[in-house]
Homo-oligomer: A and B are copies of this chain.
Amino acid sequence: MKVSLKDVAERAGVSIKTVSNVVNDYPHVTPAMRARVQLAIDELGYRPNLTARHLRKGRTGIIALAVPELGNPYFAELAGAVIDVAAQHDYTVLLDHTRGEREQEILVSQGFRARVIDGLILSPLELETEDLRSRTDDPPLVLLGERRYDLPYDHIAIDNIAAARTAVRHLLDLGRRRIAFLGSREGRTHEPAHLRLLGWRAELADYGVAADEDMVVFAQGWGREDGAAAMARLLDAGQRPDAVFAYNDLIAIGAMRVMFERGLRVPEDIAVVGFDDVTESRFGAVSLSTIAPDKQAIARLAVESVMASLGGDAAADGPGRGSRELQPGFELVQRESTLGRGGTPVRD
């Protein structure tokens, strides 16, 4: 049934070692020998047992990527990019999701969920610094996203404050002054959407516009329905924003849905800017202006960081190993939700 190196060796009348050499493209093998062994391999349909190889070499060729939710297209798109980059390094990706729950994130970070992996890329939401302290000799870890931890792990995130400022600035330049902020879920342990909210405050301040904290609304989660609920709450409270900056595209899309339902025009009555540049944002009745993080760069940096930790076992404690702040770029994409259908600013 299952053919092993031994079977091939017997068939070819050589030793196991020789077959292994052929399989692994070891340089010093006689062409004749190689041919003979290859023949036996083909005849028997031999396929190496990766598990055994991994046991021997101590590596599995698998890295895990854990994100809050695959249903969020931002993470789905990012996952696709990570899979592609990993494939270039001959690595396969094991995907896991945490629902943004601290318990799940802890489990993942300690390797209890995704096992048998050489490295881990984690995008946490609720995880705390202390949760990571207890990590012992688990595989290399790279952190993604807004949260920062003062621990010796590489961290990859765009400059969230700068990005938020750019978005708000765009709205200000368009003449908007009553700019609401729709945030993500309220965390149990920390202020959600922290950096983006800071950016909102800072840019308003710099521009000389008073930040109205009543225009800040948090949601139950980070999905479209949460954006819709938050927007409804804002309007029901009697607020009349002339612009909305949302924590992410999904919240922006949910918010716009409520505006449509209530007969509010986008951008004439309310301009909207999102965050993430998911594909979906280009195809609504009103396409969405948004901050576009460089997802390709994020994926590349994440995978390369893991690969680096994998390679440099010797210099495990060397300087700069696994405690870098990696900052991919972003850009503001201006679409109809701020510029209007014509492509030029629209104001009533």
Interface residues of A (CB under 8 A from B): 1-2, 45, 47, 49-52, 54-55, 60-62, 69-71, 73, 76-77, 79-80, 83, 87, 92-97, 111, 113-116, 136-137, 223-225, 228, 253-254, 256-257, 260, 279-280, 282-286
Contact = CB atoms under 8 A, between A and B. Distances in A.
Copies of this chain in the oligomer: 2
Nearest to A45: B136
Nearest to A255: B283
The 6 closest A-B pairs by CB, nearest first: A285-B285, A76-B76, A95-B95, A70-B80, A224-B283, A50-B116
Contact of A284 (B87, B228, B284): B284
A257 B280 contact: no
Contact of A92 (B87, B114, B256): B114
A310 to B, nearest CB: 15
A115 to B, nearest CB: 5
A93 B73 CA distance: 19
Given A50-B116, A224-B279, A224-B282, A71 B77 contact: yes
Given A71-B76, A71-B80, A285-B286, 6 more contacts: A60-B116, A62-B116, A80-B97, A93-B96, A223-B279, A284-B285
A257 B285 contact: yes
18 contacts: A51-B55, A51-B60, A51-B116, A54-B116, A61-B116, A70-B77, A71-B80, A71-B279, A79-B95, A83-B96, A92-B96, A93-B95, A95-B95, A224-B279, A224-B280, A257-B284, A285-B285, A285-B286
A269 to B, nearest CB: 14
A150 B49 CA distance: 30
